Amino acid sequence: MKTKVYTKEGAEKGDIELADCVFGLPYNEALVWQAVNNELANRRLGTANALDRGEVHGSNAKPYRQKGTGRARRGDKKSPILVGGGVVFGPKPRDFSYSLPKKLKQRALKTILSLKVSSETLKVIEDFTVESGKTKDLAKILEKFAGRERTTIILKDGDALIKRAGANIPYVHFLSYNRLRAHDLFYSRNVLLLEGAAQELNNFYGGAQ
């Protein structure tokens, strides 16, 4: 398929050929859900830790005698039903991460790219950089394409200057063409794809079915 290429000033520059096997796939909700859920699970720290009655600091002595007080029987003050006692079946440190098949993840990413093309929220822009590295210069460019909406910019290389310029813009995320993230792509209101990165995506994902 062909799509328009824009200059960084917002004017039409020409057309570029996008591979149908990367940008022309039907939307698959199940695949996208699996990819996004996998990334969120892999981000979880899993450091929550509640103390059970054997870990709570306190005496093991019986607080009062078994009979004759009219009160419930107590073995110690660390009982889970007492304030300050242990927690029953509380959270413990664990690893939530898991892996997905490589082909499934690639298919999900291509599905999201295709969704953005079909919904006209993906725009191809000529390769540019922000030579000054200043936030205001990048913000002027973004105003022409995305306003102040959540935006993902897909780069061909790790351009340090453009990343530096966007570091102070909270709604902008940067991705390399060979290290895409399903969550950032799916939830972005706008995807700006640099022309060089588009050509690399055609080659990088074109052979992966």
Region 194-207: mean pLDDT is: 87
- Asked whether residue 172 falls in the same domain as residue 191, the answer is yes
127 residue type, one letter: D
The per-residue pLDDT for 146 is 84
Phi/psi for 17 (5° steps) reads: -90, 125
End-of-domain residue from the set 32, 62, 95 = 95
Region 22-41: mean pLDDT is: 96
Segments forming the whole domain that contains residue 112:
2-44+100-204
- Asked whether residue 70 falls in the same domain as residue 123, the answer is no
Spatial separation of the C-alpha atoms in residues 198 and 113, rounded to whole Å:
11
By C-alpha distance, which of 156, 160, 162, 154 is closest to 137?
162
116-159 pLDDT per residue, tens? 999 999 999 999 888 888 999 999 989 888 888 999 999 988 78
10 residue type, one letter: G
- CATH number of 109's domain: 3.40.1370.10
Region 25-32: mean pLDDT is: 95
Please check the confidence at residue 67 and state whether its pLDDT lies above 90: yes
Phi/psi for 48 (5° steps) reads: -60, 135
40 residue type, one letter: L
Q: Which residues contact 81 (CB under 8 A, 6 or more apart)?
A: none
Q: Which residues contact 128 (CB under 8 A, 6 or more apart)?
A: 8, 141, 162, 194
- Asked whether residue 141 falls in the same domain as residue 184, the answer is yes
The per-residue pLDDT for 207 is 60
* pTM, full prediction: 0.83
CA distances to 6, 135, 187, 188, 202 from 171, rounded to whole Å, are 21, 13, 11, 9, 27
Region 36-62: mean pLDDT is: 94
Please check the confidence at residue 13 and state whether its pLDDT lies above 70: yes
- Asked whether residue 166 falls in the same domain as residue 86, the answer is no
78-108 pLDDT per residue, tens? 999 999 999 999 999 999 999 999 999 999 9
Would you say 17 and 2 are in contact if contact means Cβ atoms under 8 Å apart?
yes
CA distances to 60, 71, 93 from 137, rounded to whole Å, are 66, 73, 44
